[in-house]
Structure 1
Amino acid sequence: MNGILGNALATHPTLVADGAMATELEKRGVDTANALWSATALLDRPGAIRDVHRSYFEAGSDIATTDTYQANVPAFERLGLSTKESERLIGIAVTEAIAAREEYRTAHAGEPDSDRPLIVAGSVGPYGAFLADGSEYTGDYALADAEYRDFHRPRMRALADAGVDVFAFETMPNLGEVRALAGLLADEFPDHEAWVSFSLRDAGHLCDGTAIERAVAKLEENPRIAAIGVNCVPPELVSPAIERLRAATTKPIIVYPNNGDVYHPDTKTWTPNPDGADLARLAPEWVAAGASIIGGCCRTTPDNIRALATAVRRGRP
């Protein structure tokens, strides 16, 4: 393995990713009930974003994922902002994550785990997130390869220029979009790498119905794809998905599921699940199955990540 993720995994065999951004911003008074979702904070509450990142580093996360899942140039332009201002806001998301990392490093210099690799991953959400109609959970949309590239290119350029370490192509439900992103990465961002994490309809298929094995085959030979996995899925899908992934790829596997609550895309609301899975209890099982990077997605918190990190690093729940 090489590259930033590979080098980090060479010295720290299991990396801990962060958890939900929107959930924590809401606790800090940010209203995310709109088409921009958590990216709303980029307009007037960037300090809250830094605070969330810092809380995850303090909890034991090795990776900060930027607040850009739903932050793309067309979304900001729809609000009347210019392309230049839109790109500036995307850059602010990176700046806040990097600032949180430096604050954490300064505060904990010389401590036993101060050699942890702290990676800033630039979130690149799917075109379905821009549609804001829940289609990142169906994959029920289709653009031409060039159209996908034109949509994602400005955000990726802004993220790269602002200094992200890797891209996170996350919650990807649609094989055509994944292929376009992988091609864009290889053709126009040769100095960067990315992980790809799929959203799933079941343990063996992307939301658009593509078998995991087929999706992985389109990525396996791309040297800029540094890890492959799943995110924004129920915890019970993770172990069987890892089994399918492990049989199809030699790349590191990344998993970061939701907390077990049930999302309703039509109303953009959640139903709490009192029997939701304990990520910390399941994490050692996922490591044993072959996952190298583990974190949380929607509704997970710094407390969840703290418990997960303890379980992963001690090898027990």
Structure 2
Amino acid sequence: MKSSAKNSPVNFLMKCCSMGSSALLTQMVNDEGPLILDGGLATDLEAHGAKLQGDPLWSARLLHTDPQAIRDAHYRFLLSGADVITTATYQASIPGFISHLEVSAERARELLMSGVHLAKETVKGFESGQRRPLVAGSVGPYGAFLHDGSEYTGAYAEQMSVEELKVWHRPQIDCLAAAGADLIAFETIPSIKEAEAVVELLREFPNSKAWLSFSCKDQKCISDGSLFADAVRVASRSRQLLAVGVNCCPPDVVEPLLDSAGPLHTSDMSWVVYPNSGEEWDTERGWQTSGKPSAWTPDLSHMWVKQGAALIGELSCFLLHSVFFFAAFSLSSSSLSYRRMLSYRPCSHSGAKAAVKGTVNLQPLQRGPKTWLPTKTRQAEGGRNLSLLTLCKL
């Protein structure tokens, strides 16, 4: 919802490409607030009737069977205020499409590229004045292809070399870059070895910028047991990475993780943060409620921004049951007075025809140039049950 043409996400990215660092991203955060990532694409799709649990392709199957559902999901996130739309390619790969869809290698490549095309088409058709969100091409770890939960352990990396991991990732990155993704999102990377692979591989695509986020097991370590600080050190070798950080981890471990790598945080490397709701991965039963009080709160987002988070999101991996929140910020340490919280309630899995009404929660606001209030709720657009929120600037 940032209306400044000068500081729009696309303009910032173009300048970052010429500057070769994320210094401008830090400047943009100071001026406008962090960029808001979209939420869990698969959980939103499931909330609107998609059957994805247990599917080895996850939401990527819909690139083949129901691309309109993906367009609709992207559009819902845009209406909810997302600055970055992530493609439905996390679990997509050419071998995976060939194996599970029985398509040719050429068709598999087309499907991978279509993930970017769908997102870009949706962004292009989204009217919002000066604002043009970014499209991030999602690249999951090799463990996502294995479909055994090993992206949360990284065990497979022990048996693979950096070169083998580069061979695996190269076709996916090539497709996303060729399709015109604004940047590449390496997500849920569980091991330092795989991080080394994608950092090295990124050099083969010199015109691409990216972020790299790790899955983490606790307050100090990524999933393979390596220190998060060591993982950040590997990522810092790349001038093409705008941000490094964490996703699919409990919100309450984010602050100590970022603190543990604090000395490595520079103007050339911002943080990207998008945890889940505090649920834990069970290899037999999938995501399970941990029982720990670790849900997201606005205070946590405030702390992450103070620590240097420039791209921020929430709820990337857990099942979304009722209300989807996009961030609330108050940066009292600067001249910025900016708070926004958007909510989106998807329809239930029962497929009820009546749209569930949206809910809005806004903390007390002082009127000013960065104050936002709800103006409209849209329902049942395109025959689908929607409950959406747009904002206006006071």
Please, what TM-score do these two structures have when normalized by structure 1? 0.89
Q: 1:57 matched to which residue of 2?
A: 78
Q: Quick one: which of 198, 201, 211 aligns to 1:181?
A: 198
- CA offsets 1:127-159 (integer angstroms, 9 cap, x no match): 011111110111111211221111111111111
Q: 1:202 matched to which residue of 2?
A: 218
Distance 1:274 1:246 in 2: 26
Q: CA deviation at 1:264?
A: 2.2
1:243 equivalent in alignment to 2:245: no
Q: 1:191 matched to which residue of 2?
A: 207
1:165 equivalent in alignment to 2:152: no
Kindly tell me: are residues 292 and 299 of structure 1, through their superposed partners in 2, closer, same or farther at Cα, counting changes over 3 Å?
same
Q: 1:218 matched to which residue of 2?
A: 234
- CA offsets 1:13-41 (integer angstroms, 9 cap, x no match): 41111110111111222111211111121
Q: Quick one: which of 222, 227, 249 aligns to 2:243?
A: 227
1:21 equivalent in alignment to 2:41: yes
**8 Å Cα contact 1:134-1:266 kept in structure 2:** no
Q: Quick one: which of 169, 172, 180 aligns to 1:155?
A: 172
**8 Å Cα contact 2:302-2:328 kept in structure 1:** no
**8 Å Cα contact 1:73-1:83 kept in structure 2:** yes
Please, what TM-score do these two structures have when normalized by structure 2? 0.73
Distance 1:279 1:28 in 2: 26
**8 Å Cα contact 2:134-2:182 kept in structure 1:** yes
Amino acid of the structure 2 residue aligned with 1:170: E
**8 Å Cα contact 2:302-2:329 kept in structure 1:** no
Task: Tell which deviates more after alignment, 240-249 or 251-260.
Answer: 240-249
Distance 2:247 2:200 in 1: 21
Amino acid of the structure 2 residue aligned with 1:84: E
Q: Quick one: which of 8, 16, 32 aligns to 1:2?
A: 16
Amino acid of the structure 2 residue aligned with 1:20: G
**8 Å Cα contact 1:258-1:299 kept in structure 2:** yes
Using the aligned pairs only, state the percent identity. 36
Q: Specify the SS of the correspondent of 1:184.
A: helix
**8 Å Cα contact 2:190-2:222 kept in structure 1:** yes
Q: 2:111 matched to which residue of 1?
A: 89
Q: 2:93 matched to which residue of 1?
A: 72
Amino acid of the structure 1 residue aligned with 2:154: G
Amino acid of the structure 2 residue aligned with 1:81: V
Q: CA deviation at 1:214?
A: 1.3
Deviating beyond 6 angstroms after TM superposition, the runs of 4 or more aligned structure 1 residues are: none
- CA offsets 1:81-132 (integer angstroms, 9 cap, x no match): 221111111111111111221122x2x22xxxx44x5111111100011111
Kindly tell me: are residues 258 and 182 of structure 1, through their superposed partners in 2, closer, same or farther at Cα, counting changes over 3 Å?
same
Amino acid of the structure 2 residue aligned with 1:287: V
**8 Å Cα contact 2:153-2:224 kept in structure 1:** yes
Kindly tell me: are residues 189 and 216 of structure 1, through their superposed partners in 2, closer, same or farther at Cα, counting changes over 3 Å?
same
**8 Å Cα contact 2:301-2:329 kept in structure 1:** no
Q: CA deviation at 1:280?
A: 3.3
Structure with the higher fraction of residues in helix conformation: 1
- TM-align CA RMSD: 2.3
Amino acid of the structure 1 residue aligned with 2:235: L
**8 Å Cα contact 2:86-2:135 kept in structure 1:** yes
Distance 1:290 1:300 in 2: 28
Higher relative contact order (CA 8 A, sep 6+): 1
Kindly tell me: are residues 60 and 305 of structure 1, through their superposed partners in 2, closer, same or farther at Cα, counting changes over 3 Å?
farther
Distance 2:263 2:323 in 1: 32
**8 Å Cα contact 1:262-1:273 kept in structure 2:** no
- What runs of 5+ residues in structure 2 fail to find an aligned partner? 1-14, 332-337, 341-361, 364-394
1:103 equivalent in alignment to 2:122: no
Task: Tell which deviates more after alignment, 231-240 or 245-254.
Answer: 245-254
Considering only CA atoms, is the larger Rg found in Structure 1 or Structure 2?
A: 2
Q: Tell me the number of residue pairs that the alignment of Structure 1 and Structure 2 aligns.
A: 308
Task: Tell which deviates more after alignment, 7-16 or 29-38.
Answer: 7-16
Distance 2:104 2:330 in 1: 46
Amino acid of the structure 2 residue aligned with 1:82: S
- What runs of 5+ residues in structure 1 fail to find an aligned partner? none
Amino acid of the structure 2 residue aligned with 1:162: A
Q: Specify the SS of the correspondent of 1:168.
A: strand
Q: Quick one: which of 144, 163, 167 aligns to 1:146?
A: 163
